[in-house]
Structure 1
Amino acid sequence: MISEIINICWIPFTGFISFLILLSAINKSIGVRKAYVNLLLRIFEYGRVSIETASKENQKFESKSKTDTKLGLEVVEDDDNKETLNGATLITRDAILLPQAQENTQDKQVSSKKEEINFDFEKCLDYVKSGIEAIIEDDVTSRFEAEELKSWNMLTRTNRHYEFISWKITLIWVVGFIVRYTILMPLRVLVCFIGVLFAVVTNSIVALIPYRFLRHPLADLSFKITFRLISSSLSALIKFHNKQYKPTTSGFCVANHTTPLDVAILSTDCTFSLIGQRHGGFLGILQRALARASPHIWFERGEAKDRHTVAERLKQHVSDPNNPPILIFPEGTCINNTSVMQFKKGSFEVGGVIYPVAIKYDPRFGDAFWNSAKYSMMQYLYMMMTSWAIVCDVWYLPPMYRQDGESAIDFANRVKGVIAKQGGLVDLVWDGQLKRMKPKKEWKEIQQVEFANRLKSD
């Protein structure tokens, strides 16, 4: 009896897997995810109207506090004004004291020669004012928090909790919770497992093929199908723009970084060589599977800190025109989908063509940002599996080259500016690693030199 049930279930199960792999191989969609996303947008709009209606009805029975009126807090009750606070500039600064990128900071050291300087406490007020402004409006810390939404997306993990504002919204939220956790999540875990298993099996087979002309196209196809299956497990809907600029030759593909899923998103449309530190667990299995048939660059923890070793490996890879472009996220950490922070100059020193790519996620369907200080990788994947979907736009930008006399830092900043402008992101000078470590000593010395020069001039 049990064997008969298994046989009955096995046929549709294998058919589903085969159909899924076939769609991934030909890169086609039957439109289910697009229809699903459009349905979600209608539900979100209905929820927004219902919430606004319920809020207006509640306001009729509530009198505004005189204290709140004096303080101007009534502005916070307006949803539109509330949203403008996130990522907006609240303080107008006359002069912003920011660290300037330097190729060699040793030449900028403070002179050891003692000079007589007339010191007046009033000359410190600009720095005190800048410090207070930085505390009130922190350009760094706010970039590592969840992006605030303009309307509630029926997820209780977001910054608004309207699930009990009316019985209709409560019903929609309950139904959505059941669908996400009992239907979508098990199905997504299954599809993700199939994607990883497909990578392990196909790459092992491709690695055994002795003929290079045959092994390369099969490895490319296996690479793309693997990540198309993984992106399907997240109900990802990706729109690619400017495909004429898609990376085709050896070089560096440089993109802003919001989530580890950036790799899967970009790899659905193009084959890349990946670079990174060796991992264990789930990521380790995927890394070893991909490395069997494709030229990826994995470092041990100690090697990754050796800049000379990394640079040599990169130069060797780029020098071979048959190798795919290397996918790199120069920020070195995940930013919350609102900004682009300082690019590390390493990949811009090696030489070769740079293919800029801008990625922008739609936060209404799920917060793609990975706050690694708050969530582990498994916790983050669990949150993605139980979100509505991953919807994003990807822009390929014209290839860029380092100009004569241009420093690696200036080149990195130029590429960063192009990506930020295309993605509608804020271009920041700060190093994203500030969320983990203290500011560099050189930055403090630059400020000290600037302050000393001001005292001298006075």
Structure 2
Amino acid sequence: MMFSTTVLDFFCIPFIVFISFLIILSAVNKSVGVRRAYVKLLLKVFEFGRLSIETAAKERLKKEGEEASPAFIEAKSNDYNISHQKTENSLPTTNGNTLISRDSVLLPTANDTSSADYENSQKDEEMRFNLEKCLGYIKAGVESIIEDEVTSRFEAEELKSWNLLTRTNRQYEFISLKITLIWMTGFAVRYFVLLPLRIFVCFVGVVWLTVCTAVVGYIKDGEYKRRMVDQVLGHCFSVLSSAISAVIYYHNEENRPMNGICVANHTSPIDVLVLMCDNTYSLIGQRHGGFLGLLQRALARASPHIWFERGEAKDRHAVAERLKQHVSNPNNPPILIFPEGTCINNTSVMQFKKGSFEVGGVIYPVAIKYDPRFGDAFWNSSKYSMMQYLYMMMTSWAIVCDVWYLPPMYRQEGESAIDFANRVKSVIAKQGGLVDLVWDGQLKRMKPKKEWKEMQQVEFAKQLKGD
């Protein structure tokens, strides 16, 4: 009995000391550089794996007696690094580089002629059919079957090289004894060391966040409370970031938003965590019950947030009014909004909703780009629950990302809210190295709008006439 107690103390005491040390470092917003050193070590391991796979591929070609050119051997070697692979929790998919170069996409604008108006204006004109024009639409249809611009943005991003997280039909982990040992060691570290530690840190972080925000909520509103909120939320979210081994690089910090509206591209719920580690934001969203509702109420006591009931969230006028009230108060922190309205797979930026750009005032764009080599941060909400997603995050190597604070932007005179939203979206996409798409991200849940179909029908009728 005494022996078992001694063994338990041997393992528990260092663990508790480590967690306490972690919380203290987060409280004072300091880092000893362990996570960054860990990421650098992983990059060396990935590079060793890549070279081993290429070497094994070339040796296999030689053993098979193929007399191939160096270019052919290199192409075959690269075949071992790309395509036909899937992560432990995702299906194979395309990356941000499209296979097909398409013509411009037709979308409705304010000056577009509807199909009914077009038919009325052309009723008396002679119809001169040119059936060759149908070939373009047949081509577009085949291209969409081969590669759909929208669907591929809601699947896991494909990697160019193996990161020891993937299972493939190539069986990379058995190419050599060294790779097999590295893969087995990595599996054991992720599931038997990192996963339990991260779960415990996450539990401590959530409890700590709930308690601290509840306590701060009793402080009288004013400058002192604002400073306390900044400090408390900063170190609470820093603790939570340790639960996924987050390594975040912030750029252009002189553009960090201090008020107004902050808009960013959306890949994951972790986006909030990533940004809150460096700055305090107000959040906007639907009110929830249960444990998530408890967190929302705790945050609302500490700082001003905008939570809507399910029915109110659909009232655009009410949302705009609440936003205007929040922005008009200079003492409120900037409000964080993801105008895409859904998570995109870290390769693209899709259509921004115009609501947050109609409020007026300053807009602070922020670009977020995750490094997929260490783990896939994309949340496919139609496929995985929140608990499954957190499990995927906690069993990845780490979450590494770059955050760029871009210069504030203002709506120009005569510029519509839609044009302003597209201009901000273009700036974010360019900075993050993302594909700028015009499609609405809600297409993964609903059918295309009727006016989009009508625009295509009008254009098709014009081409049939030979216009």
Change (3 A) 1:383 1:282: farther
1:359 aligned counterpart, secondary structure: strand
Query: What SS is found at the alignment partner of 2:193?
Result: helix
Q: Which residue of 2 aligns with 1:266?
A: 275
Matched ranges for 1:173-322 at <5 A: 173-210=183-220, 212-249=222-259, 251-322=260-331
Instruction: List alignment gaps of at least 5 residues for structure 2.
Output: 84-92
Asked if the contact 2:57–2:76 (Cα under 8 Å) also holds between the matched residues in 1, the reply is no
Query: Is residue 2:393 matched to residue 1:384?
Result: yes
Q: 2:381 aligns with which of 372, 382, 389?
A: 372
Alignment of 1:386-425 (within 5 A): 386-425=395-434
Answer yes or no: is 1:27 the counterpart of 2:29: yes
Identify the match of residue 58 of structure 2 among 56, 59, 84.
Answer: 56
2-structure distance, mates of 1:4, 1:78: 54
Tell whether 2:440 aligns with 1:431: yes
CA offset at residue 90 of structure 1? 3.0
**1:389, distance to aligned residue in structure 2 (A):** 0.2
Residue 38 of structure 2 is matched in structure 1 by 36
Match of 1:149 in 2: 159
Report the alpha carbon displacement of residue 20 of structure 1 after superposing the two structures with TM.
2.3
Question: Partner of 1:96 in structure 2?
Answer: 104
CA distance in 2, matches of 1:156, 1:81: 11
Q: Which residue pairs with 1:124 in the alignment?
A: 134
1:388: Cα distance to partner? 0.3
Aligned-partner Cα distance in 2 for 1:121–1:436: 35
Instruction: Measure, in 2, the Cα distance between the counterparts of 1:176 and 1:231.
Output: 21
Find the aligned partners of 2:437 and 2:316 in 1 and give their Cα distance: 24
- Cα distance per residue 1:243-290 (max 9 Å; x no partner): 0000012x1111111111000001100100011122345533322221
Distance 1:412 1:92 in 2: 25
- The aligned residue for residue 440 of structure 1 is 449
Can you list the C-alpha shifts for 1:26-79, whole angstroms capped at 9, x where unaligned? 2210011011111111111111111111222222233679xxxxxx9x967633
For 1:276 and 1:351, the matched residues in 2 are separated by: 20
Q: Are 1:258 and 1:369, in contact at CA under 8 Å, matched by a contact in 2?
A: yes
Residue 441 of structure 1 aligns with an amino acid whose one-letter code is K
Q: CA deviation at 1:221?
A: 1.6
Letter in 1 for 2:280: T
Alignment root-mean-square deviation, CA: 2.9
User: For 1:215 and 1:450, how far apart are their aligned partners in 2?
Assistant: 59
Q: Structure 1 pair 446/178, CA: closer, same or farther in 2 (3 Å)?
A: same
Moved more, 447-456 or 39-48: 447-456
Which amino acid in structure 2 is aligned with residue 54 of structure 1? A
Cα deviation, residue 410, structure 1: 0.4
State which drifts further: 442-451 or 150-159: 150-159
Q: Is the 8 A contact 1:358 1:395 kept in 2?
A: yes
**Structure 1 222/342 Cα, relative in aligned 2: closer, same or farther at 3 Å?**
same
C-alpha distance in 2 between matches for 1:197 and 1:214: 24
The aligned amino acid for 1:35 is A
* Match status 1:341 vs 2:344: no
SS of 2:137 mapped into structure 1: helix
Q: Amino acid of the residue matched to residue 204 of structure 1?
A: A
Which amino acid is the alignment partner of residue 332 of structure 1?
Answer: G
- Mapped to 1, the partners of 2:294 and 2:451 lie a distance apart of 40
SS in 2 for 1:163: helix
Superposed displacement of residue 14, structure 1: 5.5
Pair 1:436–1:39, CA change in 2 (3 A): same
Distance change (3 Å), C-alpha of 1:61 and 1:159: closer
Question: Is the 1:273–1:326 contact (alpha carbons within 8 Å) kept by the matching residues of 2?
Answer: yes
Shift of 1:159: 8.8
In 1, Cα distance between the equivalents of 2:393 and 2:195? 9
Q: Is the 8 A contact 1:275 1:328 kept in 2?
A: yes
Name 1:110's counterpart in structure 2.
Answer: 116
| Counterpart code for 2:79 | D
Unmatched 5+ residue regions in structure 1? 66-71
Number of residues of Structure 1 aligned to a counterpart in Structure 2 = 449
Distance in 2 of aligned mates of 1:170 and 1:248: 50
C-alpha deviation, 1:239, in angstroms: 0.5
Contact persistence 1:152–1:160 (CA under 8 A): no
Query: 2:146 matched to 1:166?
Result: no
> Per-residue displacement from partner, 1:215-253 (whole Å, max 9, x unpaired)?
22112222222211111111000010000000012x111
2:79 is matched with which residue?
79
- Give the CA deviation at 1:434: 1.2
Offset at 1:206?
0.9
Q: What is the deviation of 1:163?
A: 1.6
The CA deviation at 1:121 is 3.1
CA distance in 2, matches of 1:160, 1:427: 33
Q: Which amino acid aligns with 2:184?
A: V
